[in-house]
Amino acid sequence: MKSFRSLLKKHYWDLGKTLLKHELSLMEQGTWVGFILSFLNNVVMLLVFHTLFVSSFLQDVPNPWLYLLLGIVQWNLYINVSMGGFSCLIYRQKIIMGYFFPREIMIFARTAAVFIPYLLELSLILCLALYFQVWPTSKLLLLPLFLFCQYLFCVGLCCIFSFIGVLHKNIIPFWNIMFRLVSFATPIFYLPLHFKNPWLERIYTWNPFTLFMLWIRDIVGANGFPIHFQYMYILLGSVLIFLCSYFLFRKMEEKIGDYL
């Protein structure tokens, strides 16, 4: 906890801001042109998904384009966080080996750099929804809680992937394949209600990707079916994932320098 409290010092905050600006400058979404091109890529995926899956899986959803677009943007966040976690220490070897500072600052900065374009994309989607007269529900007030829980969850993912990427570099190509398989267990282009199987329902219950994806759609009013969340459980779960991942990173940190 001593190291965690040290992150509150001003010079470490300044270091985090500098790293965040540097991370954003290196991302394709770090400029407005890059952000627009990245969002257009999401639109292309939306057109493909809309053509392939709406008539089969999303007939009962009032605004399937909004359902799909939120799912695509949400899933891209997890892909970018995982790949950013794998690379945030490996590609900063000289900084890590040459200077003494809490290494987790790099993880927080990398996660924030991925999260900022995601926030802009969510804002743009909300504006599009309003333009097409799709009004968000009163649960929009829970959006700050949703974003807080999701950021903690993403930092936890980044902590895990960061030291795995250093200690086991060969797992990165394997994870790309596994992540695509996990995408089929996450309702990006279908409704979970289609599969009335207790085992599948248990998978969805324990899949945090599904949980956050359904939550943001529920906030925007794009789920197409009623759903009830135990918000306190989600908050506690996100905090628990963050703390466990953070302290696991702290425990493995001393081995990172030997493998870089």
Residue 2 has pLDDT above 60, yes or no: no
User: What is the DSSP code string of 163-223?
Assistant: HHHHH-TTHHHHHHHHHHHHHTTS-SSS-GGG---HHHHHHHHH-HHHHHHHHHHHHHT-S
- For position 72, what pLDDT does the model report? 95
Among 29-33, 116-120, 146-150, 189-193, the minimum mean pLDDT is found in: 29-33
Give the pLDDT confidence score for residue 255 in this predicted structure. Answer: 72
Which of 11-15, 53-57, 114-118, 130-134 is least confident?
11-15
Q: What is the mean pLDDT of residues 56-63?
A: 86
Residue 1 has pLDDT above 50, yes or no: no
Please say if the pLDDT value at position 73 is more than 90: yes
- Rounded Cα distance between 210 and 193, Å, is 13
Residue 128's pLDDT is: 92
pLDDT tens-digit profile of 197-210? Answer: 677 666 666 788 98
Q: Kindly tell me if the per-residue pLDDT of 39 is higher than 50.
A: yes
Q: What are 75-134's pLDDT values in tens digits?
A: 999 999 988 888 888 777 777 776 777 788 889 999 999 999 999 999 999 999 999 988
227 phi and psi, to 5 degrees? -150, 145
pTM of the model: 0.88
Is residue 4 over pLDDT 70?
Answer: no
pLDDT for residue 230 is more than 90:
no
Higher pLDDT, 216 or 86: 216
Mean pLDDT for the stretch of residues 32-61: 88
Q: If you average pLDDT over residues 140-144, what whole number do you get?
A: 93
